[in-house]
Amino acid sequence: MNDLELKITNPQNHIKKGISVSEKYSPQQKGKLAKASKDFESMLTTMMIKSMTKTTDGLFGKEHYGGDVLDVLFETEMAKHITDSKGMGIADKIFSSMTGENLKKFENDNQSKSIEKSNLFKGNSSSLKSEDIKSPVEKISPSNKSLQRIDKYDHIIKDAAEKYDLDEKLIKSVILTESAGRADAKSKANAKGLMQLMDSTATDMGVKNSWDPKDNIHGGAKYLSKLLNQFDGEVDLALAAYNAGPGNVNKYNGIPPFKETQAYVKRVNNYLNILD
């Protein structure tokens, strides 16, 4: 059999060029790609450290008590530290080839957004402020009964989270806030089920039976995912839109000045922190 020769005019082209598909990834997906890229580089760094310390029987020597366990812990932490600092550039290459963006810039931009999250809507006196963090609403914990109720829907929530690229904890937090895990919940406005879907929203999301837990959760998750995409991955804006409608969020250029909506956003965030 003859050797197959590949003609490559620029052997680095497949790394440097990058694929212009940034618009295909949501902010959440980019976050997952960033983590996966860094985890991969960290794994390679760990293997390099193992190889470098092989002749000395590891970082702590062959006879050191518990050395084998400590080696793994220290090697992992060292690799993570190296990757999180400057790194070898592998993670950035992977992330760039997938998204066309710079990994460090993406992380810095996300960090800036996180820091400014409590003041997203400057000039709007009704938006949530950092001093509101200590409000009584955020100190409320979900009851054990409500947590037990949603436990039986774990498999449905997991499927919906994977299908619509959402955090499982976010779906659970919305369910806890909307219905306390009651599949038969119905509001005065005729919102139904675990994620309190209005009939019009249920129809738009393809839900055939709002009282069916699977239909309801998938419909609510689909709607939440749509809102996150609409508001560029800003969780608070998506939550406000879920409660008060996207029209109101656009009208007030932020979280609307409705006490119910502001309390809703804070409560969901509170449950997110508790479920962590």
Catalytic amino acids?
Answer: 178
Dist CA 230 CA 1 (whole Å): 55
Phi, psi torsion values for 192, nearest 5 degrees: -125, 145
Dist CA 136 CA 89 (whole Å): 45
Q: Is the dihedral of CA 30, 33, 39, 40 positive or negative?
A: negative
One-letter amino acid identity for 262?
A: Q
Q: Crossing angle of helices 154-163/168-179, nearest 10°?
A: 120
Q: Is the CB of residue 171 less than 8 Å from the CB of residue 227?
A: no
Q: Is the CB of residue 275 less than 8 Å from the CB of residue 172?
A: yes
| CA 208 to each of CA 38, 175, 197, 218: distance values in angstroms, whole numbers, following the listed order | 42, 19, 12, 11
Structure tokens at 39: 């985890």
Assign 81 to helix, strand or coil: helix
Structure tokens at 274: 């508790």
| CA 78 to each of CA 20, 43, 92: distance values in angstroms, whole numbers, following the listed order | 33, 11, 19
CB neighbours of residue 260 within 10 Å: 10
Q: Is the CB of residue 174 less than 8 Å from the CB of residue 228?
A: no
